């Protein structure tokens, strides 16, 4: 066929995984071209907090991650976790040997699991701006300093193979034309998840609807391209899901993080249904319940109820994370959001319930019972931690609709320890690799900072292995 351009390694997606794969392959002596769907790079990497997994030691981290990944089912074998841990142990040194400084900001998400004390989350020390977090600023500058070419506003449309199924390149839409780009060594898929693909979400996620904090570029392109060349899929129901607010004026949702504990969640009957404090990435497990009697999801949306003191304490919406960063500034006293109708207010709990189409009497009873538990110092029904029990005090009172909102999806083409994309029978698809959240090793449970750790770990592996492929053509 006629090729419009060629390179040795074609990387589809310029986020964290794509940047690290490009740096690694370039430094191994390979010619690299990155293509990016959006007008600038960064993807979900740049709108995250910017934390990456950096374990303290091997054995404990291996134990913790095995316990995490083996919940319910074993779709990841121990060798995969071993390689992931070994690479993540190099993450801090990888940054610092290139001139960055890093610092610790957290640990294990599930402290009850064995080996949790070995988990450490780090960040690149530096200034986070409206445009970029420090993690992405460093990666982008490393790519630019190597003069690795990037085609922006150039989405990949199709992977190309020869008659034997060997990857030969891809069709890229660039400058208004469909261009066939030849890859003389390999193609690496690093093009993110499917947070904005309604079909994939409806088919693989239990609850509905799920909104997203991520970049609208994540429409499952990598999933479909990989499927068309025969790839197996895994972890398609794995997600990182806080609760958030979706305003009709904005494509992405806003993460909701109250400044106080003076709030509760209630379902569509006006009743509490769980402790309001879950691991931030796992709120989908408390809201995506389907009631087989009413035939609906009674907690999607759910409602956050809070008092005047909570309203004055600070903004309900967290705009430092997510695609809306820099697109909207949430007011400090939530007054603008009340004016917009995002937050509903009333002088009494019962009338507030009626305004949000709940039974006001039931909602009032719910608040009374919760406040009684606060006085007792014990959440008798849902075991909310004692140090987080704070009563709903004086009005006015407020309500916000909350939905499960995706920070990212984990599912995509299954890969092996060499970052090779696999057929359903476990054989590698020749010369096709992947890294990042597209086909992450995380399934049921997710460890915060694990995806950026994976961008680094499997980005390096994919870049190294792709650069070893022999030249052809």
pLDDT, the chain, mean:
97
Question: Domain boundary at 387, 406, 425, which?
Answer: 406
76 occurs within a structural domain: yes
Question: Do 386 and 306 belong to one domain?
Answer: yes
Per-residue pLDDT tens over the stretch 435-468: 999 999 999 999 999 999 999 999 999 999 999 9
Residue 28 and residue 147: Cα distance in Å, rounded?
15
Of 8, 428, 432, nearest to 190 by C-alpha is 432
SS (HEC) of 24-66: HHHHCCCCEEEECCCCCCCHHHHHCCCEEECCCCHHHHHHHHH
Taking only the tens place, the pLDDT of each residue in 226-259 is 999 999 999 999 999 999 999 999 999 999 999 9
Smallest CA-to-CA distance from 267 within 316, 290, 300 is with 300
Strand, coil or helix: 79: helix
Least confident window among 75-79, 153-157, 356-360: 75-79
Q: Which residues contact 377 (CB under 8 A, 6 or more apart)?
A: 386, 389
190 and 249 in a common domain: no
Is residue 194 located within the same domain as residue 154? yes
Residue 449 lies in a domain: yes
Give the pLDDT mean for 379-390: 96
Is residue 281 located within the same domain as residue 209? no
- Check residue 73 and give its pLDDT: 77
Listed residues 358, 378, 406: the one ending a domain: 406
- In-domain check, residue 293: yes
Strands annotated E in 139-291: 150-151, 156-161, 167-174, 177-189, 211-212, 233-234, 239-240, 243-245, 254-256, 263-266
Determine how many CB atoms are found less than 10 A away from the CB of residue 93: 11
Q: Are 58 and 90 in contact (CB under 8 A)?
A: no
Does residue 398 share a domain with residue 413? no
CATH of the domain at 461: 3.50.50.60
Examine the pLDDT at 473 and tell me if it is beyond 70: no
CA angle 458, 137, 221 (to 5 degrees): 50
Distance CA 129, CA 201 (A): 31
In this structure, the answer to whether residues 233 and 271 fall within a common structural domain is no
How confident is the model at residue 169, as a pLDDT?
A: 98
Residue at 473 is within a domain: no
Q: 66-76: per-residue pLDDT in tens?
A: 999 998 778 99
382 domain-assigned: yes
Residues 166-210 pLDDT 10s: 999 999 999 999 999 999 999 999 999 999 999 999 999 999 999
Regarding whether 141 and 278 lie in a shared domain, the answer is no
Q: Which backbone phi and psi does 170 adopt, to 5 degrees?
A: -155, 160
**Cα distances (angstroms) measured from residue 30 to each of 9, 15, 22, 146, 463:** 7, 19, 9, 12, 9
User: Does a structural domain hold residue 135?
Assistant: yes
Torsions phi, psi for 173 (to 5 deg): -90, 110
Percentage of the chain exceeding pLDDT 90: 98
Q: Are residues 11 and 83 in the same domain?
A: yes
Q: Are 418 and 353 part of one and the same domain?
A: no
Q: Which of 379, 406, 433 is the last residue of a domain?
A: 406
Shared domain check, 223 and 155: yes
Distance (Å, whole) CA 169 – CA 412: 19
Give mean pLDDT, residues 398-424.
98
Using alpha carbons only, give the angle 256, 262, 267 rounded to the nearest 5 degrees.
Answer: 65
Q: How many CB atoms lie within 10 A of CB 129?
A: 11
* Residue partners of 324: CB distance under 8 A and separation at least 6: 213, 250, 252, 253, 254
CATH number at residue 358: 3.90.700.10
Domain annotation covers residue 399:
yes
pLDDT 10s digits, 365-384: 999 999 999 999 999 999 99
- C-alpha–C-alpha distance, residues 12 and 17, integer Å: 10
pLDDT at residue 319, as a whole number: 92
Q: Do residues 45 and 135 touch, judged by C-beta distance below 8 A? A: yes
Domain count, the chain: 2
pLDDT tens string 56-96: 999 999 999 999 999 877 899 999 999 999 999 999 999 99
> Residues 349-367, buried b or exposed e (16+ Cβ, 10 A)?
bbebbeebebbbeebbebb
Q: CB of 384 within 8 A of CB of 265? A: no
Q: Collect all residues with Cβ–Cβ distance below 8 Å to 302 and sequence separation of at least 6.
A: 243, 265, 266, 267, 268, 273, 287, 401, 402
Place of tokens 């007008």: 39
Determine, yes or no, domain membership for 27.
yes
pLDDT in the model for residue 74: 85
Sign of CA dihedral 122, 103, 256, 37: negative
pLDDT band of 211, cuts 50, 70, 90: very high
pLDDT band at 295 (very low <50, low <70, confident <90, very high): very high
Residue range(s) defining the domain that contains residue 296: 243-406
Q: Could you tell me which residues come within 8 angstroms of residue 297 by beta carbon, excluding any fewer than 6 positions away?
A: 207, 208, 287, 288, 289, 290, 291
- Let me know whether 95 and 138 are in one domain: yes
User: Looking at the structure, do residues 214 and 300 belong to the same domain, yes or no?
Assistant: no
């Amino acid at each position: 066929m006629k090729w419009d351009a060629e390179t040795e390694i074609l990387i589809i997606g310029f986020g964290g995984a794509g940047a690290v794969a490009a740096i690694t392959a370039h430094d191994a002596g390979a010619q690299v071209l990155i293509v990016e769907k959006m007008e600038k790079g960064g993807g979900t990497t740049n709108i995250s907090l910017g934390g990456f997994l950096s374990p303290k030691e091997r054995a404990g981290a291996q134990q913790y991650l095995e316990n995490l990944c083996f919940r319910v089912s074993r779709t990841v074998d121990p060798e995969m976790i071993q390689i992931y841990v070994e690479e993540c142990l190099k993450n801090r040194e990888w940054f610092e040997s290139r001139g960055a400084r890093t610092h610790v900001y957290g640990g294990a998400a599930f402290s009850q699991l064995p080996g949790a004390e070995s988990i450490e989350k780090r960040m690149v020390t530096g200034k986070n701006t409206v445009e970029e977090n420090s993690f992405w600023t460093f990666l982008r500058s490393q790519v630019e300093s190597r003069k690795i070419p990037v085609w922006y506003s150039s989405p990949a449309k199709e992977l190309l193979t020869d008659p034997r199924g060997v990857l030969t390149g891809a069709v890229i839409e660039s400058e208004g034309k469909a261009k066939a780009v030849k890859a003389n060594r390999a193609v690496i898929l690093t093009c993110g998840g499917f947070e904005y693909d309604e079909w994939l979400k409806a088919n693989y996620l239990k609850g509905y609807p799920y909104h997203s904090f991520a970049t609208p570029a994540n429409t499952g392109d990598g999933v479909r391209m990989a499927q068309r060349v025969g790839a197996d899929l895994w972890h398609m129901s794995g997600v990182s899901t806080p609760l958030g607010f979706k305003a009709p004026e904005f494509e992405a949702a806003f993460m909701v993080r109250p400044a106080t504990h003076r709030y509760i969640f209630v379902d569509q009957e006006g009743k509490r249904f769980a402790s309001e404090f879950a691991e931030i990435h796992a709120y989908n497990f408390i809201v995506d319940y389907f009631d087989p009697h009413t035939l609906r999801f009674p907690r999607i949306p759910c409602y956050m109820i809070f008092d005047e003191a909570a309203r004055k304490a600070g903004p309900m919406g967290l705009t430092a994370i997510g695609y809306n960063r820099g697109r909207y500034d949430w007011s400090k006293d939530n007054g603008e959001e009340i004016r917009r109708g995002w937050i509903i207010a009333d002088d009494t709990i019962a009338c507030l319930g009626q305004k949000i189409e709940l039974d006001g009497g039931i909602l009032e009873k719910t608040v009374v019972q919760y406040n009684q538990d606060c006085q007792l110092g014990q959440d008798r029904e849902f075991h909310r931690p004692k140090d987080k029990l704070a009563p709903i005090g004086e009005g006015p009172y407020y309500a916000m609709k909350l939905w499960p909102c995706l920070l990212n999806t984990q599912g995509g083409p299954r890969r092996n320890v060499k970052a090779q994309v696999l057929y359903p029978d476990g054989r590698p698809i020749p010369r096709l690799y992947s890294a990042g959240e597209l086909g992450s090793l995380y399934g049921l449970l997710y460890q915060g900072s694990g995806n950026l750790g994976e961008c680094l770990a499997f980005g390096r592996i994919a870049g190294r292995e792709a650069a070893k492929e022999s030249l052809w053509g």
